[in-house]
Structure 1
Amino acid sequence: MAATAAGVFRRTPLERSDQRVAWERADQAFFAAGACHILAWVCRATYPARPIGLVGLRFAGQRQVLHVYATWDSWAFDHAGWNPEADLLAANRKFEQRPLDRIMIADDLAMFCREHCSRMPHQYWSDPLPRARDYVNRHSPPWE
């Protein structure tokens, strides 16, 4: 699957206000907008022997992260599966039509969620961790 901007799947006002409605979106939409951070952390946990990094994208000069993904070497994993990170960045920059900053995330999930107003797994309509593990496992990593 080709790199696709996360913003293509931005949640509607109803999806933002109703967790059940957000949960019922297709996996790609769910993990592109609203649970990208959960997917990134699950990806890293799935491959503990690999140096999987976590990256956040934000509008230049802003503090709030708008998309989180996992990295390995020159590859990135997000809602579109594994793609060259350069392709993922280009897709997001083209869609947003404004400069984006790429920041490395060193926090644990709980700290990230506190600092960026993101949900922890127990705050979703249902547990997103099994869904994220299944999604990661559907995408072959580039080292295989």
Structure 2
Amino acid sequence: MAAEAAGAFRRTPIERSDQRVAWERTDQAFFAAGACHILAWVCRDSYADRPIEIAAVRFAGERQVFHVYAIWDGWAFDHSGWHPEPQLLAVNIEFEGRPLERVKITVSIAEFCEKHHHRMPNQYWHDPLPRAFEYVGRYIPPWL
């Protein structure tokens, strides 16, 4: 699967206001927009023996991040699977048509959610963690 921009899956107004409708989107859409941070943390937890970090992108000069992903040794994991991080950034820059900044995330998921106005797992229609673990399992990591 080719890397795809997260913005291609942005939630509609009804998907933003109704958690059930957001939950019923395809897995890729759900983890591209609305639960990307859940997927990133689950990816890191799935490979606890690897030094996987969390990163995010935001529009240049802005504070709010709009997409979160896991990174390991130059590879990025998000809704599109594993890709070289520069490729992931490039498709997002191309889609958005403006410069982006990469931000390293060094806080817990709870701190991240509070700071960036994201939902914790218990704030979704259903528990997204099993869905995220299953999704991570679909993609072969680059080290295997």
TM-score > 0.5, shorter chain as reference: yes
Give secondary structure in 2 for the equivalent of 1:98.
coil
Deviation at 1:86, TM superposition (A): 0.9
Q: Does 1:44 align with 2:44?
A: yes
SS, match of residue 66 in structure 1: strand
Q: Which runs of no fewer than 5 residues in structure 2 stay unpaired? A: none
Q: Match for residue 133 of structure 2? A: 133
Cα displacement (A) at 1:22: 0.2
Cα deviation code 1:70-129 (max 9, x no counterpart): 000010000000011111000000000011000100010000000000000000000000
Tell me the CA shift for residue 2 of structure 1: 0.6
Counterpart in the other structure of 2:68: 68
TM-score computed with the length of structure 2 as normaliser = 0.99
1:57 aligned counterpart, secondary structure: strand
Q: Distance in 1 between matches of 2:51 and 2:2?
A: 23
Length, aligned pairs only: 144
2:91 alignment partner AA: A
Note the aligned Cα RMSD (angstroms): 0.4
Question: Which residue of the partner structure matches residue 20 of structure 1?
Answer: 20
- Corresponding residue number in structure 2 for 1:89: 89
TM-score, reference length from structure 1: 0.99
- For residues 2 and 74 of structure 1, the distance between their equivalents in structure 2, rounded to whole angstroms, comes to 16
Q: How far does residue 35 in structure 1 lie from its aligned partner after superposition?
A: 0.1
- Deviation per CA, 1:36-85, whole angstroms, max 9, x where unpaired? 00000000000001000110100001110100000000100000000111
Q: CA deviation at 1:9?
A: 0.1
% same residue: 69
Cα distance in 2 for partners of 1:128, 1:108 equals 17
Corresponding residue for 1:57? Answer: 57
